């Protein structure tokens, strides 16, 4: 009777050892029942270990997603990659101040081993996830070794299941599963966020996009600007492309684009403002298809000494305002018209006059070039007019 | 004799039914998954056989088989939701942070009054129009609804079967169109059909089959297969075409310096019909390259007066529809502007 009790106790002891051997090891300086800051940033991956960088990235993504699934606000990986100059991120305090981040997460992978022998497999991933506050004080650290074994030999209770798992784990996707399990178990060990998003850090997710404009700044360039919450990230979205704007002053984002940049495939045309945590606001804009008052379709054939600019108002002269307008030729405004002349189309051109009327007086020359100057001194592409002889 | 044959046939049918290896997956895809639309994943719900929302049973994942299973803290709908969110992060969709979605719902009256901790009113959440959710509560293009239709573990003495069924629907907030829908069901079994290797295993393995690790692994696999059509790397054409190639590229900055009032023109020659961009170090990122003729890409960077950088490497990138990227850093010591 006593022997039976002893053997069952030993069995229970072995079982406990087996179970605890797989459990993550937690080192915490938080008080019992303490919580973690709600807004976190995962520092960029450190590729210095022997583990291939693609695999390091997979674990990183799994940790970020695991934290988000537990309702932490996690800064986007691309943001951290652009703001940090090294994996240790010496810019931490500035990032914390500007982007309202309260804690930093470091993922350190120590080793990965994959052993696939025909009758079984045994894979292992070892690493540590630590959280520090903005002053680099350690809050909690979780070290874990995730093991995965199976196959005919190691799943001896079920022959067919052993074969199935052996086949399933013969590919490279085995690492994805292992990374997911590793992340799941580590993140599960972290305490809850300090409070729900609704209670704190609402300023970290609230976002205002007050204006977005796209204007021609020269015949071949247009400038896209947006005004909104400072220390955010603004993008021009054209179809499936996303181009970042630069924050030129707090809350003012701009970038100059070449006329080459258009949206030939259609789709969304908008300005997007994002917080570091991925919350966003959008405002649609229209990318101008041509500089203001493109003259090519507006110039009427010259009649004697005069020609007219259709569907335009030139320096308050409304005489051709509704003349020749259509959906493809909308009304436009021009400040002044510059007229140049040359003896042949190749030039050289000489400025003849500056006119403020939609009806332009042409000089007696073989070739005449006309240029419209619009708002902000933006000029149109020049158009040549062959003079009637 | 006839009775014995009939019994064997019945047993074989029983065994085949229980083994339940073949899952059923139905997908509908009505949009280009490489388009970066923003989606809000709403809280998932569990439904009964009649399709009615049922209150999540907190005990469903707490198995009663001591020592063979670990304790999970989530309900089936919560578990499936987190799995879906994790899988969606591998697609090219722009998924709103779950914490932000939950906060928006809590702040806008989608809770059961008087509950502490606050509990979401799923009936109300599912009744809300996607347009209202995306325009009044959040900033998104589409809403993903998820339901757990089945989450069963059955024990038959010599066999145990776990079954999971889910339904996912991605609805456009702009026009109410179903952008993506999937209906999936799959099973996994332990016991007689998986070839027990000893008499004791005939009894032990079906019990071990009730372990929550079996049903959660099944759900994980089910979700992965359900989301697969949205993953760019899973598209069939991924393996049928060569990855992007850049034959050559150059920029216009003489001596690596962009003159004041000037611009930087970058040209590249590579595989046609791709999305091209170029970056100047970390100072200027992802300026689009326009394809002026097949395989010929041109882009221009026009510095703003406030721009300033020194010796930044110009890198050209071409990306295909499957998300594969080829990059070419341009020769030289980089470009500068001040």
DSSP state of A37: -
Residue of chain A minimizing CA distance to B289: A261
Residue of chain B minimizing CA distance to A58: B90
* Interchain CB distance below 8 Å, A180 and B220: yes
Give me the residue from A68, A156, A223 closest to B98, CB to CB.
Answer: A68
Give me the residue from B38, B67, B107 closest to A280, CB to CB.
Answer: B38
Reported ipTM: the value is 0.71
The pLDDT assigned to A67 comes to 94
Q: Alpha-carbon distance B28 to A183, whole Å?
A: 31
Burial call A111-130: b when 16+ CB within 10 Å, e when fewer: ebeeeeeeebbbbbbbbbbb
Q: Which residue has the higher pLDDT, B123 or A176?
A: B123
Element (H, E) at B108: none
User: Does the beta carbon of B150 lie under 8 angstroms from any beta carbon of chain A?
Assistant: no
User: Does the beta carbon of B36 lie under 8 angstroms from any beta carbon of chain A?
Assistant: yes
Residues of B in contact with A257 (CB under 8 A): 302
Give me the residue from A244, A248, A282 closest to B285, CB to CB.
Answer: A244
Residues of B in contact with A15 (CB under 8 A): 67
The residue of B97, B223, B273 whose CB has the most chain A CBs within 10 angstroms, and thus the best one to mutate to test that interface, is: B97
How far is B1 from chain A, CA to nearest CA, in Å? 31
How far is A245 from chain B, CA to nearest CA, in Å? 9
| Through-space distance between the first and last CA atoms of chain A, rounded to whole angstroms | 126
**What is the per-residue pLDDT across A348-388, written as a single tens digit (0 to 9) for each?**
888 888 888 888 888 887 788 888 887 667 777 788 876 55
How far is B227 from chain A, CA to nearest CA, in Å? 15
How far is A42 from chain B, CA to nearest CA, in Å? 15
Quote the radius of gyration of chain B (alpha carbons, Å).
Answer: 27
The pLDDT assigned to A199 comes to 47
**What is the per-residue pLDDT across A48-60, written as a single tens digit (0 to 9) for each?**
888 888 889 889 9
User: Does the beta carbon of B111 lie under 8 angstroms from any beta carbon of chain A?
Assistant: no
Between vectors from CA A265 to CA A261 and to CA A269, what angle results, nearest 5°? 65
Residues 6 or more apart in contact with residue A360 via CB below 8 angstroms: A306, A307, A308, A309, A337, A339, A370
From residue A361, how far is each of A21, A197, A301, A302, A351 by CA, in Å? 93, 67, 13, 10, 13
The pLDDT assigned to A200 comes to 47
Burial call B86-108: b when 16+ CB within 10 Å, e when fewer: bbbebbbbbbbbbbbbbbbbbee
Weakest mean pLDDT among A209-223, A281-295, B282-296? A281-295
The pLDDT assigned to A290 comes to 58
Strands A246-249 and A241-244: unpaired
Residues of A in contact with B208 (CB under 8 A): 157
**Average pLDDT over all residues of chain B:** 82
Phi, psi for B274 (deg, rounded to 5): -120, 175
* Interchain CB distance below 8 Å, B96 and A258: no
User: Does the beta carbon of B67 lie under 8 angstroms from any beta carbon of chain A?
Assistant: yes
**What is the per-residue pLDDT across B298-330, written as a single tens digit (0 to 9) for each?**
998 988 888 888 999 999 999 887 677 888 999
Q: Which residue has the higher pLDDT, B175 or A242?
A: B175
Q: Name the range with the highest mean pLDDT among B187-196, B262-271, B277-286.
A: B262-271
Residue of chain B minimizing CA distance to A82: B282
Element (H, E) at A43: none
The residue of B94, B231, B288, B323 whose CB has the most chain A CBs within 10 angstroms, and thus the best one to mutate to test that interface, is: B288
**Average pLDDT over all residues of chain A:** 81
Give me the residue from B96, B118, B302 closest to A258, CB to CB.
Answer: B302
The residue of A158, A164, A238, A263 whose CB has the most chain B CBs within 10 angstroms, and thus the best one to mutate to test that interface, is: A158
Mean pLDDT of A230-249: 87
Q: What percent of chain A is modeled with pLDDT above 70?
A: 84
* Interchain CB distance below 8 Å, B220 and A61: no
> Is the pLDDT confidence value at A98 over 50?
yes
**Chain centroid, CA B43 distance in Å:** 15
> Is the pLDDT confidence value at B15 over 50?
no
Per-residue confidence band for B18, with pLDDT thresholds at 50, 70 and 90 = very low
Give me the residue from A240, A267, A279 closest to B100, CB to CB.
Answer: A279
**What is the per-residue pLDDT across A134-155, written as a single tens digit (0 to 9) for each?**
988 999 999 999 988 887 777 6
Per-residue confidence band for B146, with pLDDT thresholds at 50, 70 and 90 = very high
Q: How many CB pairs under 8 A join A and B?
A: 140
Per-residue confidence band for A202, with pLDDT thresholds at 50, 70 and 90 = low
Residue of chain A minimizing CA distance to B78: A69
Answer for the pair A262, A348: CB distance below 8 angstroms, yes or no.
no
> Of all residues in chain A, what percent are helix, strand and coil, respectively (each to 5)?
25, 40, 40
* Interchain CB distance below 8 Å, A256 and B304: yes
Answer for the pair B165, B149: CB distance below 8 angstroms, yes or no.
yes
Answer for the pair A272, A242: CB distance below 8 angstroms, yes or no.
yes
Mean pLDDT of A32-46: 90
DSSP state of A303: B
Residues of A in contact with B232 (CB under 8 A): none
Residues of A in contact with B190 (CB under 8 A): 158, 161
Residues of B in contact with A256 (CB under 8 A): 302-304
Mean pLDDT of B61-78: 62
Element (H, E) at B168: strand B159-172
Contact residues, B window 242-271, toward A, CB-based 8 Å cutoff:
263
The pLDDT assigned to A262 comes to 63
Contact residues, B window 202-241, toward A, CB-based 8 Å cutoff:
204-205, 208, 220
**What is the per-residue pLDDT across A142-188, written as a single tens digit (0 to 9) for each?**
999 998 888 777 766 778 888 887 777 777 677 888 898 899 999 99
Give me the residue from B94, B139, B194 closest to A281, CB to CB.
Answer: B139
The pLDDT assigned to A174 comes to 77
> Is the pLDDT confidence value at B173 over 60?
yes
The pLDDT assigned to B149 comes to 93
The pLDDT assigned to A126 comes to 92
Give me the residue from A244, A262, A279 closest to B97, CB to CB.
Answer: A279
Residues of B in contact with A239 (CB under 8 A): 35
* Interchain CB distance below 8 Å, B275 and A159: no
User: Does the beta carbon of B82 lie under 8 angstroms from any beta carbon of chain A?
Assistant: yes
Q: Is the pTM here over 0.80, yes or no? A: no
The pLDDT assigned to B183 comes to 95
* Interchain CB distance below 8 Å, B103 and A82: no
**What is the per-residue pLDDT across A110-120, written as a single tens digit (0 to 9) for each?**
888 888 777 78
Per-residue confidence band for A14, with pLDDT thresholds at 50, 70 and 90 = very low
For the record, the structure tokens of A191 come out as 């305490």
How far is B284 from chain A, CA to nearest CA, in Å? 8
The pLDDT assigned to A5 comes to 54
* Interchain CB distance below 8 Å, A68 and B286: no
Per-residue confidence band for A2, with pLDDT thresholds at 50, 70 and 90 = very low
How far is B106 from chain A, CA to nearest CA, in Å? 8
SS3 of B183-251: EEEEEEEEEHHHCECCHHHHHHHHHHCCCHHHHHHHHHHHHHHHHHHHCHHHCHHHCCCCCCCEEEEEE
> Is the pLDDT confidence value at B126 over 80?
yes
From residue B45, how far is each of A234, A330, B35, B50, B187 by CA, in Å? 35, 52, 28, 14, 20
The pLDDT assigned to A194 comes to 81
């Amino acid at each position: 009777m006593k022997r039976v009790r002893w053997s069952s106790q030993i069995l229970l002891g072995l079982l406990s050892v087996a179970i605890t051997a797989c459990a993550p090891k937690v080192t915490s300086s938080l008080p019992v029942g303490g919580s973690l800051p709600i807004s976190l940033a995962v520092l960029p991956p450190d590729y210095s270990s022997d583990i291939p960088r693609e695999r390091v990235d997979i674990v990183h993504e799994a940790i970020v997603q695991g934290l988000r699934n537990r309702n932490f606000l996690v800064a986007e990986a691309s943001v951290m990659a652009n703001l940090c100059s090294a994996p240790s991120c010496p810019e931490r305090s500035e990032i914390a101040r500007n982007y309202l981040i309260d804690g930093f997460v470091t993922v350190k992978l120590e080793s990965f081993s994959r052993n696939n022998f025909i009758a079984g497999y045994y894979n292992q991933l070892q690493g540590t996830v630590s959280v520090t506050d903005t002053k680099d004080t350690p809050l909690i650290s979780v070290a874990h070794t995730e093991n995965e074994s199976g196959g005919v030999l190691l799943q001896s209770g079920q022959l067919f299941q052993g074969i199935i798992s052996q086949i399933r784990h013969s590919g490279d996707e085995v690492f994805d599963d292992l990374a997911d399990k590793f992340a799941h178990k580590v993140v599960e060990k972290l305490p809850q966020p300090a409070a729900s998003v609704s209670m704190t850090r609402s300023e970290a997710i609230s976002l205002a996009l007050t204006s977005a404009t796209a204007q021609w700044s020269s015949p071949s360039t247009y400038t896209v600007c947006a005004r909104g919450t400072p220390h955010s990230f603004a993008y021009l979205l054209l179809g499936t492309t996303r181009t970042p704007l630069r924050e030129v002053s707090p809350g003012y984002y701009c970038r100059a684009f070449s006329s080459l940049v258009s949206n030939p495939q259609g789709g969304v045309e908008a300005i997007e403002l994002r917080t570091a945590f991925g919350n966003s606001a959008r405002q649609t804009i229209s990318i101008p298809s041509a500089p203001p008052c493109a003259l090519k379709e507006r110039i009427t054939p010259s009649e004697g000494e005069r020609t007219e600019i259709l569907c335009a108002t030139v320096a308050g002269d409304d005489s051709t305002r509704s003349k020749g307008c259509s959906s493809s030729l909308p009304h436009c405004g021009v400040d002044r018209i510059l007229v140049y002349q040359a003896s042949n189309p190749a030039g050289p051109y000489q400025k003849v006059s500056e006119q403020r009327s939609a009806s332009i007086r042409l000089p007696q020359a073989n070739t005449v070039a006309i240029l419209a100057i619009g708002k902000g001194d933006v000029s149109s592409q020049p158009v040549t007019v062959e003079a009637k002889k | 004799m006839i009775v014995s044959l009939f019994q064997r046939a019945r047993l074989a049918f029983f065994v085949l039914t229980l083994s339940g290896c073949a899952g059923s997956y139905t997908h509908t895809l009505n949009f280009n998954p490489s388009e970066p639309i923003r989606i809000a994943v709403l809280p998932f719900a569990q439904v009964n056989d009649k399709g009615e929302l049922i209150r999540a049973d907190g005990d469903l994942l707490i198995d009663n088989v001591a020592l063979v299973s670990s304790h999970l803290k989530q309900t089936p709908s919560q578990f499936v939701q987190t799995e879906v969110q994790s899988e969606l992060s591998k697609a090219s969709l722009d998924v709103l942070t779950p914490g932000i979605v939950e906060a928006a719902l809590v702040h806008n009256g989608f809770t059961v009054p008087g509950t502490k901790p606050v509990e979401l009113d799923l009936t109300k959440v599912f009744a809300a129009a996607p347009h209202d959710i995306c325009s009044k509560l959040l900033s998104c293009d589409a809403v993903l609804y998820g339901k757990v239709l089945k989450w069963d573990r059955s024990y038959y003495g010599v066999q145990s079967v776990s079954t999971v069924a889910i339904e996912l629907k991605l609805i456009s907030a702009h026009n109410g169109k179903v952008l993506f829908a999937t209906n999936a069901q799959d099973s996994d079994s332990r016991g007689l059909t998986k070839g027990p290797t000893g008499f004791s295993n005939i009894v032990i393995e079906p019990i071990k089959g009730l372990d929550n690790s079996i049903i959660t692994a099944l759900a994980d696999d089910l979700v992965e297969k359900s989301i697969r059509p949205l993953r760019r790397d899973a598209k069939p054409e991924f393996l049928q075409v060569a990855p992007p190639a850049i034959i050559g590229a150059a920029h216009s900055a003489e001596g690596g310096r962009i003159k004041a009032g000037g611009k930087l023109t970058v040209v590249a020659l590579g595989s046609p019909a791709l999305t091209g961009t170029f970056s100047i170090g970390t100072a200027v990122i992802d300026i689009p390259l326009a394809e002026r003729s097949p395989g010929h890409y041109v882009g221009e960077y026009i510095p703003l007066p406030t721009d300033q950088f020194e010796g930044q490497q110009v890198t050209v990138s071409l990306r295909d529809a499957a998300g594969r990227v080829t990059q070419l850093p341009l020769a030289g010591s980089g470009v500068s502007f001040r």
